[in-house]
Amino acid sequence: MGNRMFVPDARADYRPLVNCAQMATAAKGVQAFRTYLEMIKFEHSVFALPFAMVGMVWASVEFGGTGWPGWRVFLLIVLCMVSARSAAMAYNRIADRDVDAVNPRTKMRAIPSGLLSLKHANLFFYGSCIVFFVGAALLNGLTLALSPVALFTVLFYSRTKRFTPLSHFVLGLSLGIAPAAAWASVTARLDWPVLLVCLGVLFWTAGFDIIYSLQDEEFDRANGLRSLPAEIGRAEALNVSRLCHALAIVCLALACWVLSVGVFAWVGVLVAATVMAFEQSLVKPDDLSRVNLAFFTLNGFVSLGFFAFVLLDVLL
């Protein structure tokens, strides 16, 4: 594949080589709606959206004296976050459809299984991009100017595993820009303190993505996909994941210190650190039975828990 950036082609007619018995008829009606939500893993918005809310709240406090920017800005931030993430996930499913078709863990995803046609996936992708650009334009000039950079960042991740084991950090960057984007949405400027939050999210995301990729170590190595576990093995990859989570806590703590937040925000840092430590304790190089608990459940507690305490800090 090389390292070129590819744009999905709605005219492409790719049919993965899977057993006919595994092919499903195209989803329709309510089932189609559920299929789209499954494709973009809508429930995973809980990972990045709360940190975007942290950026929004802290920006509102710093420049408005209150943690609330108003309904218009709030709703546009949510719209941009959801549409950008939807575009990124749709692009990921389109770009990885050949890999997903031969991976036992992913071959029943919507596109390779036939539940969703490539044409409809492309339409969803382009529609999400349009909604994102419109939302950014309605916020302010800076968000509109930076919107192509933001969208490229979240899309680029889908190609990085083909040429670098640092793909986990690119994914981290794609989620990590969320607090800065929300900050810019409120203030029409970027200030360096929010970049500490971005770094915290980047390292947190890279750490849990490394854990998730442990499941595909052998498949990635056999198919030339350069995930960190495939490159350096499970044990060393887990060590990198633990270092990432330690750095994430340091960055979040520095952000709290620079912004002179109250005690409840510091409690949020402690809660995030505790959950990350527990997450790391669940996964061993020779025992991946609790990866889903570590990835899906606990990371939701990290983001939602930190935001809850930041919000409580502002309110009190």
Evaluate if residue 32 carries a pLDDT over 90. no
The predicted pLDDT at position 6 comes to 39
The predicted pLDDT at position 161 comes to 86
The predicted pLDDT at position 188 comes to 96
Mean pLDDT of 172-180: 96
> Which residues of the chain form beta strands (DSSP E)?
none
Q: What is the pLDDT of residues 195-253, one digit of tens each?
A: 999 999 999 999 999 999 999 999 999 988 999 999 999 999 999 999 999 999 999 99
Q: Which residue has the higher pLDDT, 114 or 308?
A: 308
For the ranges 17-21, 167-171, 183-187, 234-238, the lowest mean pLDDT is seen at 17-21
pTM: 0.86
pLDDT band at 294 (very low <50, low <70, confident <90, very high): confident
pLDDT band at 262 (very low <50, low <70, confident <90, very high): very high
Evaluate if residue 35 carries a pLDDT over 50. yes
The predicted pLDDT at position 192 comes to 94
CATH homologous superfamily of domain 41-315? UbiA prenyltransferase (1.10.357.140)
CB atoms within 10 A of CB 304: 17
pLDDT, averaged across the chain: 87
The predicted pLDDT at position 114 comes to 82
